[in-house]
A and B are shown apart, each in its own frame.
Chain A
Amino acid sequence: MLCQICKKREATVYFTQIINGQKTNMWVCKQCAANHGIKIGLNSLLTGLLGIDREIQASNNIATRCDRCGMTADDFNRTGRMGCSRCYEVFYEPMQALLTRIHGNTRHLGKTPRKTEQPQTEDTQVEQLKQELQECIKTENYERAAQIRDRIKALNNVNGGRQG
């Protein structure tokens, strides 16, 4: 495919731009990409997406620096990288917005490390079990489905007891 800007060279960069929810796709060559200030690489695409304005943050008394590793919102906007696990708590809200834009979702649905399985709340356990139950029904694994159903019942009883 030819570059959609110069229409001469072979396009090697597939470029997606999203401005205010408006998506434009383009095939361009490396030279035109450079000339038009299209930086290639995930880093540069992420940069600025955290959307933290230092002055607004400071005036609203919102943290602009991670108290553990010292990463600032500016650092993130420049590098596109978080500094440590604590940063995800410090920059919780802007990060939620960014994650929604990247993944369309902000809730983890996969594996959990073995050791953290313990403190998991009953609610998320029930949610996971319900999903597993659906899968068992789909694959007609009724024996396991019955076990899961009993487990959900038990967990719901615990929850109910607490609320009452």
Chain B
Amino acid sequence: MNEGMNKWYVDAGPDSDVVISSRVRLARNFDAYPFPQRSLPEHQHKVIEETCDALFSGNPKLKDNFSLVRLKDISLTDRQVLVEKHLISKELAESNLETAALISGDEQVSIMFNEEDHLRLQCLASGMQMEKAFDICNYLDNLIADKVDYAFNDTLGYLTSCPTNVGTAIRVSVMLHLPALTMTGYIRTILESCGKLGLAVRGLYGENTEAYGDMYQLSNQVTLGKSENDIVMSIKNISYQIIEQERLLRTELLNKNRNKIEDRIMRSYGVLRFARNLSSDEALQKLSDLRLGINMGLIGELSETDVSEMVIRKRYRPRFIYKKTY
């Protein structure tokens, strides 16, 4: 993969004090073949081949930007790295079908082949940039649709393996860093109201994971009966309400308990710098404090993107922090 290329997370993006990243995912299936679980290996190969052809024939520049990774060709460790970078799902890494992923050099875009659906197009962007992520997905989707007949029905929209994705087959999500809401316990009320509004709240690594390091992923559940734009806008609106709450609380915490907050943050910074053994849970919690400290202007020598990079690339070993600060 293009290791030298700047990755998407080196820019902080808008509203980066609270919003870590935005993500849009489209699920698509070929009409010609049964969905992956019921398809034959030759169908699965065709899906990969025909998609690459649709995207790259007559578009050599695009081709240079992507690398095709066949999961069977790489080690378990390498698959794990792709999962941690959110470029492929755990399910894809563990699948025994002919799976592959097209990954862009900046690691912003990935297309998963033969996961639950034939195609899963995903785009990540730093901070609050859902529209940007959607535009990129949309562009690639149109390129493919020019050459491939999708499983699509006028009434039901895009047909997917799981009925929960039918319709727009879009999943819009935003990763929020909510330490103040978590610390004060207000987060519970917020999570409950999100549930009532039809939004799913998950931890850092998607479905069925806990909220490590005060990071919460908000995403839409309903995909049928709303346009893509409506879905993006509703997630965005709700996110901004939560973001405002988090900001207010941070200011209040700092005004009322400056000593306590500063102490907590600097302790965490100390642990990250000098500890020799950290479990990933502990590291994520300390990194959460560190990120808060950077936002509050307590730690000038590091930036939010340094923390994002450490979380995403799992490089939170003390040595890395040394390297960043000296």
Give A contacts to B, CB under 8 Å. 1, 12, 14, 16, 25, 40-42, 46, 68-71, 79-85, 88, 95, 98-99, 102-116, 120-121, 124
> Complex formed: what's the CA distance from A83 to B168 in Å?
19
A110/B188 contact (C-beta < 8 A), A85-B151, A99-B163 known: no
Contact B168 A99 (CB under 8 A): no
Give B contacts to A, CB under 8 Å. 29, 31, 33-35, 37-38, 116, 138, 142, 145-146, 149-164, 166-168, 170, 188, 191, 195, 207-208, 210, 222-228, 230
Contact A85 B163 (CB under 8 A): no
Among B167, B222, B226, the one with the most A-chain Cβ atoms within 10 Å of its Cβ is B167
> Complex formed: what's the CA distance from A42 to B161 in Å?
13
> Dominant SS at the B interface?
loop
> Complex formed: what's the CA distance from A115 to B152 in Å?
11
Contact A106 B168 (CB under 8 A): no
> Complex formed: what's the CA distance from A41 to B162 in Å?
13
A12/B210 contact (C-beta < 8 A), A85-B153, A115-B146 known: yes
> Complex formed: what's the CA distance from A46 to B224 in Å?
16
Closest-CB distance, A96 to chain B (whole angstroms): 9
> Complex formed: what's the CA distance from A124 to B230 in Å?
18
List chain A residues, Cβ under 8 A from B33: 84
Contact A114 B207 (CB under 8 A): no
Contact B35 A112 (CB under 8 A): no
Contact A42 B162 (CB under 8 A): yes
10 extra A-B contacts, CB within 8 A, seeds A85-B159, A99-B166, A109-B226: A42-B164, A46-B162, A80-B163, A83-B37, A105-B224, A106-B156, A108-B155, A110-B157, A113-B152, A116-B154
